[in-house]
């Protein structure tokens, strides 16, 4: 009985770690940090936050950014864009990902959602927003009459991410990684031609509008690429903070009203 309880407790702890994003093992044995040397580590330069606005200093030091711009600009349709992105070798994290995750839903839909990057479920299946956060997103969209599986013009949704490959351990994409993918993302939006953009979380906001602080920005309309943009908290945040669903509902109603104005 005691061993069964221990197994249940260990399983619950593991599921909690996975929900927090700790899905990759980082070592084969535990480390007793009390036995490590007491010498202080050498100071390291502080990396620029991935949530900070993109600036020229954040641009990749190689020609990968120029290559990304050329490939994105040459893509005449979404299929060509997907092929160009799949063949782009500027991101090292591509080598550790299982699948290339391009998009889901209906191109040309009135609403286009941009998330951060694939998670473990998305990397396994090859589609964006298919894990617990994606299931919540589907319920949120259904509440205002939208459905990624619908081909009906008034109900359709198109979904993508800033990065098409999963960062190791679900870490936040770096500013350099975002900078290399922005040309592809901008071309993606141009080709998909939505009426409204929804940016889920800080990373797409940093990539497209050069701002961070999603809890301050959410619920306030802004512009990107000539289109109305609604920043929203990511569904994963709502799973961890259920009280924030009330604000997310208000944002959804704003989006519904904006779509009705255009019809």
d(CA 139, CA 184): 28
Per-residue pLDDT of 113-142, as tens digits, reads 999 999 999 999 999 999 999 999 999 999
Long-range contacts of residues 152-156, Cβ cutoff 8 Å, at least 24 apart: 153/109, 153/110, 154/110, 154/263, 156/105, 156/106, 156/108, 156/109, 156/110, 156/111
Report yes or no on 7 lying in a domain. no
Range of the domain at 238: 64-261
Report yes or no on 2 lying in a domain. no
Q: In the chain, where do the E strands start and end?
A: 104-105, 111-115, 157-161, 196-200, 222-224, 227-232
d(CA 169, CA 148): 27
Can you tell me which residue has the tokens 């953009």? 197
Report yes or no on 69 lying in a domain. yes
Record the pTM. 0.77
pLDDT at 106 (0 to 100)? 96
Per-residue pLDDT of 156-194, as tens digits, reads 999 999 999 999 999 999 999 999 999 999 999 999 999
Return all residues near 144 (Cβ < 8 A) that are at least 6 apart.
Answer: 252, 253, 255, 256
The CATH number of whichever domain residue 153 belongs to comes to 3.40.470.10
Q: Reply yes or no on whether the pLDDT at 22 is more than 70.
A: no
Report yes or no on 55 lying in a domain. no
The total number of structural domains in the chain stands at 1
Per-residue pLDDT of 189-248, as tens digits, reads 999 999 999 999 999 999 999 999 999 999 999 999 999 999 999 999 999 999 999 999
pLDDT band at 52 (very low <50, low <70, confident <90, very high): very low
């Amino acid at each position: 009985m005691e061993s069964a309880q221990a197994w249940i407790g260990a399983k619950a702890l593991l599921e909690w770690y996975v929900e927090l994003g700790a899905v990759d093992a980082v070592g084969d044995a535990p480390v007793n940090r009390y036995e490590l040397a007491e010498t202080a580590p050498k100071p390291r330069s502080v990396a620029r936050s991935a949530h900070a606005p993109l600036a020229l200093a954040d641009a990749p030091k190689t020609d990968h950014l120029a290559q990304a711009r050329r490939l994105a600009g040459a893509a005449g349709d979404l299929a060509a864009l997907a092929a160009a992105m799949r063949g782009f070798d500027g991101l090292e994290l591509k080598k550790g990902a299982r699948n290339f995750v391009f998009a889901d839903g209906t191109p040309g839909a009135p609403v286009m959602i941009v998330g951060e990057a694939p998670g473990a479920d998305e990397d396994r299946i090859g589609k964006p927003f298919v894990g617990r956060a994606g299931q919540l997103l589907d319920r949120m969209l259904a509440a205002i009459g939208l459905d990624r599986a619908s081909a009906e013009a008034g109900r359709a949704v198109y979904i993508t991410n800033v990065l098409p490959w999963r960062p190791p351990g679900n870490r936040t994409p770096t500013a350099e990684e975002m900078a290399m993918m922005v040309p592809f993302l901008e071309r993606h939006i141009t080709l998909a031609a939505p009426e409204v953009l929804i940016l889920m979380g800080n990373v797409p906001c940093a990539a497209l509008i050069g701002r961070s602080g999603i809890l301050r920005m959410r619920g306030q309309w802004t512009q990107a690429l000539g289109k109305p943009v609604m920043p929203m908290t990511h569904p994963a945040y709502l799973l961890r903070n259920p009280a924030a669903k009330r604000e997310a509902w208000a944002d959804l109603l704003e989006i519904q009203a904006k779509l009705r104005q255009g019809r």
